[in-house]
Structure 1
């Protein structure tokens, strides 16, 4: 069995970056003003942020089917008979199902794992899968390890730009206006328990209370300094730094990385969003 490893730009990395690790990466599609872009390929992160400042509305979709087809045909031509894929989660995209369908059409064995989210957890899971295969680990052990990582994870988002959510049709104008008047901060959760779909964790009256609600939640779930912590932001680096310090007052010695929130997610949350992703890197 010769395995090719495949992911997508939901990881926040470009196809060229993944090529350096001998991992195939398919770009998700971003559409704005009737123009379709390959994420991180034909539109940069900076360009996405600029369009958000211009109050542009984006749509997202899975990689072009023709692009998946071309990629998998090349994989087969290169002598691989198996695809091991960890794409953006099923709850957010049809990417997983499209990959599986095209692999089956080309008579390639398909091994897929749902990460139940995206971003850094997705990145680490595909890296761990490749490392374990290269170390001749048993496939059951590999799947158990990846499932443990997915089970341990929580990704929690706090929104500031409710008007952006209204413009994108994800919040009614009346609800956006009321939330703005009451200073309501929606706190949303995505993990295995939500089946990779965005669910509401809390609705609080201030940004400070929203951060407290997030930290309370992860502490109650047993998250400690042994976990991987990622703070992702949409063009609000200073707020991300303040959030990091707040977490450190509650969870000492936590190693916290700050990154840009992947554009395929940030275009839905809007500017000013802060996301915290935690997971147990069992490797």
Structure 2
């Protein structure tokens, strides 16, 4: 058995970065003004942020089927017979199903795990999978272990650019105007319980109250310093740092990493979004 580990740029890492780790990666597609880009290859994160400032609207889609076909045919020629895949979650993309379909067409064994989200959870899961297989664990043991990461995770998002959500069709003009007038901050989350789809958690007046609401929520869930905490932001680093301090004041000994929110998500949330991703890691 020879296993190829496959993921995509929903992890927030480029295909070149994954290549250095011995993991195969496919670029998600970003479309803006009729032009399709390979995420992190033909358009950079900085270029996307600039276009968001210019009030451009993006659409996202799974990697081109031709890219998947070419990769899997090459892997088969190189002697791989098994694909272990952790793509962006099924609730947000058809990537998982496309990988499975093409693997089956080529008579490759397909092992896939739904991460129910994207970003660092997806990244850590594919890294752990590769480590475990290389250490001699079975495919089933490995799948069960990385599934526990996904099952433990929750990602909570707070939105600030309601006009961007209106332009993208995710809020009606009337709802966006009313929310802006009342200073309403939508809070959403995505996890196993939501089936990997973004679902409304709450709506709170003022940004700081929204942050406190999120912190109350994760404390109630028993998420403490033994979990991995990630704050991801869309071009609002200083607010991310302030959010980090608020969490540290409430949860003893917590270690928090701040990153850019993955491009494929940030283009939908708009500028100023803060996301908190929390999950139980496997050492």
The answer to whether TM tops 0.5 is yes
Q: Distance in 2 between matches of 1:2 and 1:144?
A: 19
Tell me what 1:42 maps to. Answer: 42
Find out whether 1:125 has 2:162 as its counterpart.
no
CA contact (8 A) 2:184 2:206 kept: yes
Q: Distance in 2 between matches of 1:156 and 1:104?
A: 35
Q: CA deviation at 1:91?
A: 0.2
Instruction: Find the residue that maps to 1:222 and give its secondary structure.
Output: coil
Aligned residues: 283
Deviations along 1:163-219, whole A, 9 cap, x unmatched? 000000111111000100111000000000000000011100010111011111111
Q: CA deviation at 1:139?
A: 2.5
Tell me what 1:70 maps to. Answer: 70
Q: CA deviation at 1:145?
A: 1.0
Q: Distance in 1 between matches of 2:13 and 2:112?
A: 19
Tell me what 1:87 maps to. Answer: 87
Alignment of 1:144-183 (within 5 A): 144-183=144-183
Structure 2 stretches of 5 or more lacking a match?
A: none
Deviations along 1:96-115, whole A, 9 cap, x unmatched? 00000010111111000000
Tell me what 1:240 maps to. Answer: 240
Indicate the larger mover: 185-194 or 145-154.
Answer: 145-154
Q: CA deviation at 1:21?
A: 0.6
Find out whether 1:249 has 2:252 as its counterpart.
no
Deviations along 1:13-50, whole A, 9 cap, x unmatched? 00000000110000000000000000000000000000
Tell me what 2:219 maps to. Answer: 219
Q: CA deviation at 1:146?
A: 1.1
Instruction: Find the residue that maps to 1:155 and give its secondary structure.
Output: strand
Find out whether 1:32 has 2:57 as its counterpart.
no
Structure 1 stretches of 5 or more lacking a match?
A: none
Q: Distance in 2 between matches of 1:80 and 1:145?
A: 23
For the aligned residues, what is the CA RMSD? 0.6
Q: CA deviation at 1:138?
A: 2.5
Q: CA deviation at 1:282?
A: 2.3
Tell me what 2:97 maps to. Answer: 97
TM-score where L is the length of structure 1: 0.99
TM-score where L is the length of structure 2: 0.99
Q: Distance in 2 between matches of 1:147 and 1:220?
A: 22
Tell me what 1:210 maps to. Answer: 210
Q: Distance in 1 between matches of 2:176 and 2:147?
A: 37
